[in-house]
Amino acid sequence: MKLHVPATTTNFGSGFDTFGLALSLHNTFEFEESDAFGVEIEGEGRDLPTDESNLVIRVYRRACEVFGVSPKPFRLKQINRVPPARGLGSSATAIVGGVKACVRLHSLDVGLKDMLKVAFEFEPHPDNLVPAFVGGFVICVQNGELVYSRLPFPSDLSLIFAVPDFELSTEEARSVIKREIALKDAVFNIQRASLFVSAILTKRYELLRTAVEDRLHQPYRAKLVKGFTGALEEGYRAGAYAVFLSGAGPAVCALTAEGNRERVEEALKKSFEEEGVRVKILKLSPENRGAYWG
């Protein structure tokens, strides 16, 4: 059995903990029933655990406990294309993989709501998990229970990611964020998050630069990402519609017209390299399909 789970980008500048988009980059998990658990890893994250402390196995075991079934040991071949700890939802792919494996291996009739309850124990941020499960662009709200809306994301926008060669843990990225904010900063983000949704639905891309301005997380996390300030400036100078941290960072996402893609890619790469940071450039597109078997 082979499961493909898409990467995700979240926050979109002003949509902190709210906006999430599935991407055309996948981690693949191959499951084969066995007498004992074991893991083989290819691609990114070769230093991830290959024993029962592997995140996929831990989530699978917890899902079995929640859904009332006995775990069936398996051999897992984990083919990672999503760089870990870069703000592209690598851990979310593993969590989705563990939950979906439980449902499939035990032929359970379990809906998204119940799968998410297990997933949230390991990752409390729905903007990471929901698009990995369902695909597309989602707006997530937690109001006692999860409420989300799935919207089309423009296919004529190119998504460019500059992925630095260093990791940034979610814990470190969270630790620098203020727990209380001024009313004017809350209003600032509400206005721009609303504008972002309007801009993508009406294709008024000239509004995106304003729409991704943020006062909740990016100014604080920018200090943890060497080269980000320069990438922001150079990306806009090269004609990008929007430039912002992907998730918690350190990856940087730029939205631009397809015809301007190479210019923006070069600007992002050059700005990081001038700070002594090597980056990998990924050109991705929205993924409308969530995790799937095949």
Binding residue numbers:
83-93
Which residue ranges are tagged as binding site for ATP? Answer: 83-93
Exposed / middle / buried, residue 225 (Cβ in 10 Å: 0-12, 13-18, 19+):
buried
At CA 12, angle to CA 134 and CA 85, rounded to 5?
75
The closest of 263, 253, 251 to 212, measured between CA atoms, is: 253
Length of the chain equals 294
Task: Report whether the peptide linkage leading into residue 83 is cis, meaning its omega lies within 30 degrees of zero.
Answer: no
Cα-flanking dihedrals φ and ψ of residue 89, to 5°? Answer: 75, 30
Measured distance CA(269)–CA(289) in Å, rounded: 30
Contacts of 110 (CB under 8 A, 6+ apart): 67, 103
E-strand ranges in the chain read 2-11, 15-33, 38-43, 74-80, 137-143, 145-151, 157-164, 242-245, 252-257, 279-284, 292-293
Measured distance CA(267)–CA(235) in Å, rounded: 6
Helix 126-134 × helix 112-122 angle, to 10°: 140
Measured distance CA(75)–CA(260) in Å, rounded: 44
Q: What's the distance, CA 147 to chain centroid?
A: 18
